[in-house]
A = this chain, B = another copy of it.
């Protein structure tokens, strides 16, 4: 997964982009980058591994002059982690430049790449996004947006794009609308971001969503929108609301905090925990859902797990002490709230189950009498090919174990997942138009013939 942010027409475009990326940090911590274009049309790029707050030295930020900037934060995926795969991509061609930041995953990346290579293209990264840059370089059109539209014909899968062609910013969202993308304004300047929380931090007003299939361009000629991509059914990612987006964002037109609260309430109705004395969240992503569960069930909400936010990337030492402390490094229970109690622990999802198992053990060691696990989404049983880095099916614990096995494996007294229907009905605009492939296995489009090949080259 990734976060993208762009500015058109602001004196401090790069500084705003740095702030915007910082508030999208939850969407990717592996690398961060900014491309800025100055008044003379010169593009400059700065990319670094790691966090936004670490990645840009003062001198680099000073060099990123000009009224146009786009930025990108990239999620850490095993193996393909390298500075070569940091975005935005900046290509120089015919005394001009193409910069691109991409959130999503292309499902026909292998075919696109093969076609381009047969036509003479060479690649300097393993990212699917680089194929789009090549296609834009080869495409023609009477306007920058028409050129991008031409380049996107035949590109399949999930993409939200920020593109800079010379001094035009073009943004595009695939016709299925898997990933979110919004537009805002600061005075006369335009701002584009994966989530509204990034508009908030720069003081931009939210204008509207970029629609599925829409291409918007802005430059000295002003802002215009075209609808040149083939239309398709809407498949917004339900997991953005369940887990990925920030609760202070509006995503797909609805408040994430509100949908998580609704998920928690539905969970309490579908999977009650009669006799339980305390409800608590696995902080911070499940706070809203746990509060919803507490409200609906009437069981008191407590802050029973404290999260340590000073986690460093290279922290855990290869000692026994370090291995034993894995989960404890992140969470510590408040014994006074758990001792002798029957408790409900609410989490938003279970992927591999390792953390859940560690937490259950921690909570029991702190004296809980019964541990009732409640999950505010359905069991994850399939991989995602549209931008979320779910692991292989073989590592998805709900795909590998029966309910009874799961209860035993996690060490809980009971385990209750929300149903897919329950989950969808909690979405802001109702149950329709959502992709739930990771929960249902029903992929709304063809997936790659050789998924591993695709994943290796994914820009996420």
Contacts and interface: CB of A to CB of B under 8 A. Distances in A.
A203 B324 contact: yes
A67 to B, nearest CB: 13
Nearest to A135: B120
A120 B122 contact: no
Interface in A417-448: none
A308 B16 CA distance: 17
A137 B121 contact: yes
Given A90-B124, A124-B124, A287-B303, A247 B334 contact: yes
A306 to B, nearest CB: 4
Contact of A317 (B15, B98, B137): B15
Contacts of A301: 291, 301
Contacts of A322: 15, 19
A58 interface: yes
A320 interface: yes
Interface string A289-304: 0010001000011110
A413 B26 CA distance: 34
Contacts of A321: 12, 15-16, 19, 202
A25 B306 CA distance: 14
B119 A120 contact: yes
A177 interface: no
Nearest to A61: B317
Interface stretch (A46-54, A210-218, A266-274, A369-377): A46-54
Contact of A23 (B51, B246, B302, B332): B332
Interface in A295-342: 295, 300-303, 306, 308-315, 317-322, 324-325, 328-329, 332-337
B137 A255 contact: no
Given A53-B312, A317-B18, A329-B201, A98 B119 contact: no
Contacts of A333: 200, 248
B120 A121 contact: yes
Given A92-B124, A123-B91, A315-B53, A22 B329 contact: yes
Contacts of A74: none
Contacts of A94: 114, 117-118
Contacts of A335: 248, 250, 255
Given A124-B90, A137-B120, A310 B22 contact: yes
A408 interface: no
Nearest to A198: B332
A390 interface: no
A203 B257 CA distance: 35
B334 A248 contact: yes
Contacts of A114: 94
A200 B310 contact: no
A91 B25 contact: no
Contacts of A54: 312
A460 interface: no
A449 interface: no
Contacts of A403: none
A310 B300 CA distance: 30
Contact of A320 (B12, B61, B92, B137): B12
A364 interface: no
A120 to B, nearest CB: 4
Nearest to A309: B309
17 contacts: A18-B317, A19-B329, A22-B329, A52-B310, A53-B314, A92-B123, A93-B123, A121-B137, A203-B324, A203-B328, A247-B303, A247-B306, A248-B334, A250-B335, A255-B336, A291-B301, A309-B309
Closest 9 CB pairs of A and B: A53-B312, A91-B122, A248-B306, A15-B321, A255-B336, A15-B319, A120-B138, A309-B309, A53-B315
Interface of A: 12, 15-16, 18-19, 22-23, 25-26, 29, 51-54, 58, 61, 90-94, 98, 114, 117-126, 133-134, 137-138, 197, 200-203, 246-248, 250, 255, 257-258, 287-288, 291, 295, 300-303, 306, 308-315, 317-322, 324-325, 328-329, 332-337
